[in-house]
Amino acid sequence: MWPRGGYPMEALEVSMDSEAKITPILIITCVLVATAGLMFGYDVGNSGGVTSMDDFLEKFFPSVFHRKLMYDNDNGSAYCLFNSETLQVFTSSLYLAGIIATFFASYTTRHLVRKLTMVVAGFFFISGVVLGAAAQNLGMLFTGRIFLGCGVGFANQAVPLFLSEVAPTKIRGGLNILFQLNVTVGILFANLVNYGAAKIHPWGWRLSLGSAGIPAFLLTIGALLVDDTPTSLVERGRIEEGKAVLKKLCGTDNIESELKEIMEATRVAQQVKRPFRELLQRHNRPPLVFAIFLQIFQQLTGINAILFYSPVLFISLGLGNDASLYSAVILGSVNVLSTLVSIYSVDRVGRRLLLLEAGVQMFISLVMITVVLHWHVIDNSEDLSHGTALFVVVMICTYIASFAWSWGPLGWLIPSETFQLETRSAGQSVTVCVNLLSTFSIAQASLSMLCHLQYGIFAFFSGWVVVMTVFVYFFLPETENVPIEEISEKVWKKHWFWKRFIDDDRIPKTSVTSA
């Protein structure tokens, strides 16, 4: 789905704001955004908690369970507690399935109906939830997770496009980060459910996996209820239906100018027969580089390693089962609240300042954690003192706060506002794929890294934070308040490095309306 965070709410520059009101269909659309974001966030937040539940481990990952028992009895290495390939594959399989599904979804969104693609996503989610919650063996458990991944792939591609086509321009930017906000709410919801479910034996883990059914069900119902977008209808030649939906969306009969814009946008989009090939043209290099690098860097902050495994991490820090989930709830709340900071400040202080400030804050937090853990060698079950453990939790909170107002939303927002109209949806597919691929790789590697590097894992990520902050400083131009169709002229052409990719003779293709 999601993701989100920043999806290309501007994917088709069709403004519907002449007389547009906040109509019921728009509200349903917002519910859709919310549930798609919630669903993705729930999946991200859920696995760490479930994989630290004894009943779950005993049933599906007995070797990890026995290692944990030994650790509880003061034997064995804390950092390697959860180092199991099958456990890693369990977490990562969702992302791998999502990557593969994105390719199919990009085809279905282009050639079929957006609405249908979202319905497919909903059904994948529901099947995945049912299989996971009812799992009797590893086969069911993994199949369920793969279905959830397929849901993520389909929803991530369709929901943003759908939104971009129905949202009035004036609330499009807000919707963009709103999606990321919902991801963080989903993570928090998962942490809360895990906290309660961990106390229910022996089936608490089923409740935890099954609760994803709530956002999944809402998404499916929402997708079934809404009309397809006017653009999708017009594209398929159903002009009258498109007009009717447009009237509903705008809350007015006066939709002639919007209809013209949609027809024109559709005409322009249809002229580009091979958007992926167009994406590789030299003049598209700057946004393409940012779509790829911002997503890779977003994951190299280590956020998912810390979020996925925060319950596990806290057990490794000697905080005990209960305290660990409790801390995860705190981290989840910090994540949500700090995303609000981003919504408030992104158009006031700009993208660069947020990313640069966060780079410094994340670096300091990660280095402090490394130093503290270095002093207190906790391997072989020497627990951290209460005060030290608390300090580490506080540092993790300052780290998460800075991520949530910078790389979290901006990793999505910036690619979505730098692609030209003709390559925007292909650019979105690249963004989603690189996100899922990097998330997958980090999820796959983190538990082994925690086992082999121990607290050095924090130093590893702090090194990457330096690299990405330097990258932002030298290469990322400010895009705040620049209309999308003027990015070439006003941003790339003026940048010391990127200007060499923009050909002066090339008249930038403009979108139909201003951003």
Residues that bind ligand BGC (CB under 6 A): 3, 5, 44, 180, 183-184, 187, 298, 303-304, 307, 335, 408, 411, 435, 439
Is the CB of 143 or the CB of 304 nearer to ligand BGC? 304
Please report how close the Cβ of residue 130 comes to ligand BGC at its closest, in angstroms: 24
Is the CB of 64 or the CB of 400 nearer to ligand BGC? 400
Is the CB of 231 or the CB of 299 nearer to ligand BGC? 299
Closest CA to 128 of 154, 107, 103: 154
The Cβ-side half-sphere exposure at 273, using a 13 Å CA radius, reads: 0
Please report how close the Cβ of residue 143 comes to ligand BGC at its closest, in angstroms: 23
Beta strand extents in 122-274 (DSSP E only): none
Q: At what angle do helices 114-133 and 138-166 cross, to 10 degrees?
A: 150
Is the CB of 83 or the CB of 438 nearer to ligand BGC? 438
Is the CB of 147 or the CB of 179 nearer to ligand BGC? 179
Q: Which three-class secondary structure state does DSSP give residue 211?
A: coil
Amino acid at 124: F
Please report how close the Cβ of residue 34 comes to ligand BGC at its closest, in angstroms: 15
Please report how close the Cβ of residue 87 comes to ligand BGC at its closest, in angstroms: 18
Is the CB of 308 or the CB of 419 nearer to ligand BGC? 308
Between CA 248 and CA 368 the distance in angstroms is 55
Is the CB of 187 or the CB of 368 nearer to ligand BGC? 187
Between CA 126 and CA 130 the distance in angstroms is 6
Is the CB of 61 or the CB of 308 nearer to ligand BGC? 308
Q: At what angle do helices 85-111 and 24-50 cross, to 10 degrees?
A: 160
Between CA 424 and CA 415 the distance in angstroms is 9
Please report how close the Cβ of residue 91 comes to ligand BGC at its closest, in angstroms: 12
Radius of gyration of the CA atoms of the chain, in A: 23
Please report how close the Cβ of residue 51 comes to ligand BGC at its closest, in angstroms: 16
Please report how close the Cβ of residue 408 comes to ligand BGC at its closest, in angstroms: 4
Between CA 146 and CA 96 the distance in angstroms is 8
Between CA 394 and CA 374 the distance in angstroms is 17
Q: Name the phi and psi angles at 478, rounded to 5.
A: -75, 130
Q: Name the phi and psi angles at 373, rounded to 5.
A: -70, -30
Please report how close the Cβ of residue 333 comes to ligand BGC at its closest, in angstroms: 12
Between CA 515 and CA 510 the distance in angstroms is 11
